[in-house]
Structure 1
């Protein structure tokens, strides 16, 4: 009988860079980066330096990696070739001075089944965690929920880690926590909706038609605002209804993964104020393009 090897979750390609000045980088396996021991002496020396400036000078020359994926040709969000399925988050000591049992933090965090890796940061004054994601295509939304889940545990994680292009400096921990059977994190943050019931129950025929279209948009998760111009046009058309159109603009906008309640609300207020010459007919035309109608089947 042969023993079946379980899949090595760290055996995945990521982008790596030869210091901060390297623009294009190369690729390597996540495992190779995490367990690289060629720079231990430099890292241990860095940890003895008295000032942050001196530490940063050494840090700039150390290998860096984008834990969340492969980027080409350069490290930009729009150049993400494929997501690694992981997110890396930082827990800095300076942001968590309220934690009294700091020395026990790694052990406590290791109890979370979603954490695959825990290591000292390059400075030795914090930790970084690598967590597999259930929905890597929604990296930002998963990070936002992760941040909130950690806050409920009394832990502040670095907000910058929500950036899919976030760079991780090579580090060293003599005793890292490794869990090759980590469970993908399923948390997903959604911007709060302005209301649960957006349907209009009055006698206005136009508003009833808009409400029926919006009901179908919501039910079928149809994004009719998939680019800025479409979003702007839909907003102008619904703004022609005055304040009655606000709730419907939120319904349409919230089908897009980039939706933010406050941003959407501000845009609608602006559109109502400026009064662009686009009537509600444009809304129905856009709906028609997506096979959405107010007519009963």
Structure 2
């Protein structure tokens, strides 16, 4: 295998992009290798926050806001029966909970079974696990290929997350600067017929379609251009807000807060959104942001002054950070422009 070298010629593998784990419909199509190997600075900031967070619940709440892809193909919606075309990739997850004996995840990348078949191996978003991309010979036999891979890894003492047998399974964004990549990975051809009854892994739809105008524009350039990278974090409409102004983030946040107050809109309905807003306020204003956090939180129907104080203090003490663009994304979802 070779070390990461994004300048080297590599295949283009198109998959569906989702704004977050909770969104059933894709917001675009991306080359999965570009998405993993050349991420935006904004995404890397969020990933750094996740890896510095020890509290699992908080970490999972932030991860749920990350963009995600379906590594095994393009989908109309995120359902097995809505598969448009298989990417001929399987994403394998190796989690810490299933593999308590593994402590050195970086070392594991170099001793995985079937290394000649692994296109990509890198750390998960939390840094407490590993995922791999394996090209397979037949997308219509996704499950049979997975069961064979599961057996190979089990014989090597590694337990795979069984959810990976789902062709529509999401993979949240992650980046590993020392990922192991093999652009010449060989197709994995082994299959296992065991326990496939009742599982449907491919759609009955044709495995080809006319590309959408959006896909045409992406592919004409070979690789996504810098502007397209800004589409990756969450919402396609966010590109305008990212590019429209070079004002300092503090000033832009205060202007956004004024729009929230003028429209009297609650953008903290879910805990993860409330937490992220607090992280942004803490990043920009430090302890002086307490009153601003109250102002934005006050439109929540069950707003409690004491709870708000405790939450912001927890964020400050934990050193949690997030970028201004994260709160822009949240506000847009609640209708604040």
Q: Given the two structures, how large is their TM-score scaled by the length of structure 2?
A: 0.53
Paired position in structure 1 for 2:70: 66
How many residues matched? 190
Aligned counterparts of 2:59 and 2:143: Cα–Cα separation in 1: 30
The 8 Å contact of residues 105 and 129 in structure 2, kept in 1 or not, is answered as: no
Structure 2 SS opposite 1:15: strand
CA distance change for structure 1 residues 124 and 186 in 2, over 3 Å: closer, same or farther?
A: same
| Cα pair 1:119 1:128 within 8 Å, conserved | yes
Query: Is 1:14 the counterpart of 2:40 in the alignment?
Result: no
CA distance in structure 1 between the partners assigned to 2:32 and 2:105 by the alignment: 27
- Which residue is equivalent to 2:288? none
Give, in angstroms, the shift of residue 22 of structure 1. 2.2
Higher relative contact order structure (alpha carbons within 8 Å, sequence separation ≥ 6): 2
1:295 corresponds to which residue?
Answer: none
Shifted more, 17-26 versus 40-49: the winner is 17-26
Q: Deviations over 1:8-44 (max 9, x none)?
A: 33x0210010112322112111122212233111111
What whole-Å deviation, never above 9, does each CA across 1:94-141 have from its counterpart, x for those lacking one? 211234665421111287100000110001001000000012111011
Which residue number corresponds to residue 189 of structure 1?
192
Q: Displaced runs of 4+ in structure 1, greater than 6 A?
A: none
Specify every segment of 5 or more residues in structure 2 that has no aligned partner in the other structure, as ranges.
1-7, 200-337
2:158 corresponds to: 155
The residue that corresponds to 1:54 in the other structure is 58
Change in CA separation of 1:19 and 1:259 when aligned onto 2, cut-off 3 Å: closer
Counterpart of 2:124 (choices 113, 121, 125) is: 121
Q: Which is greater in Rg?
A: 1
Contact 1:30 1:67 in 2 (8 A): yes
Instruction: Report the secondary structure of 2:117's partner residue.
Output: coil
Separation of aligned partners in 2, 1:259 and 1:163: 12
Aligned residue for 2:85?
82
Quick check: 2:119–2:185 contact (8 Å CA) kept in 1?
yes
Gaps of 5+ in 1: 1-5, 193-256, 261-297
**Coordinate RMSD, CA, aligned:** 2.3
1:60, distance to aligned residue in structure 2 (A): 1.3
After superposition, the Cα gap between the structure-2 partners of 1:168 and 1:102, relative to the gap in structure 1 and judged at 3 Å, is: closer
For residues 185 and 52 of structure 1, the distance between their equivalents in structure 2, rounded to whole angstroms, comes to 35
Query: Any conservation in 2 of the 1:110–1:177 contact (CA below 8 Å)?
Result: no
CA contact (8 A) 2:105 2:123 kept: no
> Which runs of structure 2 are paired with 1:157-176 in the superposition (5 Å)?
157-176=160-179
Cα gap change, 1:259 to 1:191, in 2 (>3 Å): farther
Q: 3-state SS of the aligned residue for 2:85?
A: strand
